[in-house]
A and B are shown apart, each in its own frame.
Chain A
Amino acid sequence: MIRIATVLMLALASPAAATEIFEAEGAWVGEGLLATGAEAPLERGRCRVEIAPEPGGRDVSVTGSCAVAAGVSDISLRIVRAAGAGVNAGFWSAATGQTVQFSGTETDAAIELNSTTVLMVDETPYESRVSVSAPDETSFAIRQLLRAEGAEAWRLVVDMTYRKAGG
């Protein structure tokens, strides 16, 4: 039986350096691994997103879609700079139909975000952690981990490295 994603596919884009996300723009392509469910194994995936920052440099929208062999799902993200080094974000995925809110901090090396709302998968609430780092000047990486509420171990569900499309 052919199966495809039913759960979160949070594979989102950021700019060439984590702290420059608010200045990045245009088309980006992500390559890496995705899990099509909270408990599903990682498999090869690819994302294509469009980054559109607001002129003020404090607000950026990322929209696009992510595909695995068995299907594709639209995603959408908005990140807003808060006071100091704080960052708030909201992530939506068509696969889950849910928006998860995140809050975290921004450093020169990375943006670290923790979910402030739960993601419901098969009636189980999950909390989530996202980190955005920049392994080199032309790419950035996103890792997302999920953990059922009350559980100890985190599970990697997204490990995706983005490069500027056509670059």
Chain B
Amino acid sequence: MGFGRKLAGAMAALRMRLVLLWALLLLLVVMSITGIARLRFDDELFRFFDSDLVAFDDFVALSRAFEGDTNDVIVLIEAPDLAAPEVVTAISDFLLDAQFVPGVRAAISPLSLRVEAADGVFEPLFPYPAPSREDMAARLDAALANDPSLARLMSADRGALVVVLPITEDGEDDLRERREQIEALDRLGERIVAAAPGVSVALSGYPVLRDNVAQALIDDIVMLTGIGIIVGFIIAITTFRSLRLGLLTLPGPVMAVAVAIGLHGHLGVAINTMTIALPVLVLVLATSDSIHIGFERSRQGGRTSARATFRAVRRVAIACVFAAFTTAVAFAALATSRSEILAEMGRMGVIVALASVVTVLLTQTTVLTTAGRFAWFAPLFARLSAHPPFGRGLEHLPRLAFRAPRRLAFFGLGLLAVSTLLYSQAGPRYSLMDSLKPNSPIRTVFERVEERVAPVSQIQIPVTSTDPALVGLVQNVVAEVTGSDQVQSIAGVMGGVAEVEEDLPEPLARRLISRDGTQTLVSVPFRYENGEQTLALADRIDAALAAEPGLEGVEVGRVTGLPVMSARVAGVVLDEINRSLLIALGGVAVMIWLWLGNLRIALISLIPNMLPVTLIGAWLMLTGRGIEFSNGLALTVAFGVAVDDTLHVLNRLRLNGGIVHFDRARVFAAIEEVAPALVTTSIVLVLGMGGTLLAENKGVSDFGKIAMAVYVLALIADLIILPAALAVFGPRRVRHQTREPS
């Protein structure tokens, strides 16, 4: 009777627990769905640089005082000869209609220019009706030779011209507003092409870049999540050799990624070029945890189903939680960044990493416990324990380590030292074009504009003076340093400030004179290559202005503009990312030390944890790529994830009693037991991130490549270097004093 009552009580408690688990799960589902409904996507190009750095403050001050080029849509129109009457009429049609597109505030094009006629009266460069091709060609050639304004907008061979359309971005839904504006301009461009065969029209500029990035983010997150889930499912099926076990592995990862995306919605954090990596990271981590739970569940064969599930989850949970913590440590290190968006990604990373592990443990416990009530469930795991999981042959790698542990341990240590040295020499690299693939249409158009017509990137210098003579002095210095005859300021306008204020529309006047009328702007277009080249040019201009005696007492601002600001901020932020990696490394070592209570093992674990990062860092240095945002971030974040393997090895060693009674046999046993799971989860990580290779956003794609490389190297290091290092550098005294386990 007593046993019966106990059993009934246990069953009731279990049912209650299951009801509670389902209630919690339901709550998470509701939270995720409501959060996903509130999700926002944004390129956040400018917020990326939002920081407390002087360079950013300079840029903000400039943007407040003047009209920048960041809202300029650049339209490249190419034709065999732009002087042909049908081409001139088609371009004129485009220009007139473009100005009726809501949000287009002005138009800068060769068609706005005037030329002096024989009678001294100024008339439009492009008369209407359009003259014959020969007459128009003669007009254009003469103007190209004499007017730098035309040379800035049209190629010398009359084969290409540029139209600049500053657009407004106000209101709450900028993304949609921008999309509609660009679509409308695209449609007008198609009309030119239809009206004048041989003409091509392409859009570029920051609004188009931002639109492209934002659209790519939406496509990428769907693709990345979809591929991640499919890959996880396929790997789970092949590993467990069971469709049902494969399906049972899925709920945890799917819920974890839904919670991660839902949290973005609830916390008002947009999916941007930084945070887009989080859901897929959560997905691969959660799939990895779920597979570990599956493996452990198969080891609990003799127990009742519910107890076996609870015990399996409990035994794996510590490693899963620690893996989440190490990932969170890497993100927390990023949260200290001075870049607002990077810090936000760090904070979100901490939140979703921790939420993910809770979600996957809760979901898998609930699902496996519930499935355990059905007759078909238990035989699945019984069959699995009879046929060990498919390890793809890589699980035999540790045997290599035990054949020559000393050689491999010292080789690992030496490799770590050399690669760390090389990695430390890798400098930061940054380009505004980093998010675009080399064959991106926007990049191609941007390059064609610069190659065929004129540079469009701007270096800007605010001057607190409206005196044309002083501003002219600044203009001359800038022209001398840059060698450009296209420096622009009020010094080049007859009539100065008064003429600009009276004759130019607001979006154009504010490119020369500040909104409060106290400052003027000197701008020079330059051919943008990358951040490094931009900074070198900016520094040369700053130095030349500081050395100009005529400007003594004149308040000349630091050289700025988006290319300059982004390069300056990027340099600092990239250094921070490197520092974050060091913090993460130290943090993980401390956590392992606190967890296992063994400093030596914690230090040894640094070897396989650091090697993937330093090896890739060394490769980046040797190939001259340097540390870019995407790979710097990937190294930090992937490090946090890659530690997962080491933690599972150490957890197995702990469960086998190998921490307290350390010896080679226990290390070998731990590695042998955990290797199939490591191989499988690493394949999940690598292939799950494989979707990033197809990402439209180059930054996401680069991030994925580096992260995948880290996971592969981490697996090899954990299967070969870690056991060798533990065997050679492990706790000696304990190893000699304790007996080998039976």
User: What residues make up the interface of A, taking CB atoms closer than 8 Å to B?
Assistant: 1-4, 6, 33, 41-46, 48, 65, 67-72
Contacts and interface: CB of A to CB of B under 8 A. Distances in A.
Nearest to B130: A44
B505 interface: yes
B122 A41 contact: yes
B112 A4 contact: yes
Interface of B: 92, 95-97, 99-100, 106-109, 111-114, 121-124, 126-128, 149, 492-494, 502-505, 508
Given A41-B122, A41-B123, A44-B128, A72 B504 contact: no
A127 to B, nearest CB: 23
Nearest to A42: B128
A69 B114 contact: no
B184 to A, nearest CB: 14
A69 B100 contact: no
B92 A44 contact: yes
A46 B126 CA distance: 15
Contacts of A48: 100
Nearest to A32: B128
Contact of A2 (B99, B122, B126, B149): B149
A145 B344 CA distance: 62
Contacts of B124: 41, 43-44, 69
Contacts of A33: 128
B107 A69 contact: yes
A29 B448 CA distance: 35
A4 B113 CA distance: 9
B499 to A, nearest CB: 8
B502 A6 contact: yes
A46 B107 contact: no
B504 A4 contact: yes
Contacts of B503: 3-4, 6
Contacts of A46: 96-97, 100
A21 B107 CA distance: 32
8 contacts: A2-B149, A2-B504, A3-B112, A4-B504, A4-B505, A69-B92, A70-B112, A71-B505
Contacts of A67: 96, 99-100
A69 B113 CA distance: 9
B505 A69 contact: no
B107 A71 contact: yes
Contacts of B114: 3
A60 B673 CA distance: 88
- 6 shortest A-B CB distances, which residue pairs? A70-B112, A44-B128, A69-B111, A46-B96, A72-B99, A67-B99
Contacts of A43: 124, 127-128
B40 to A, nearest CB: 32
B187 to A, nearest CB: 15
Given A67-B100, A69-B124, A3 B504 contact: yes
A1 B128 CA distance: 20
A148 B112 CA distance: 26
Contacts of A6: 502-503
Given A2-B508, A4-B504, A69-B95, 7 more contacts: A1-B492, A3-B114, A41-B123, A65-B100, A69-B126, A70-B112, A72-B107
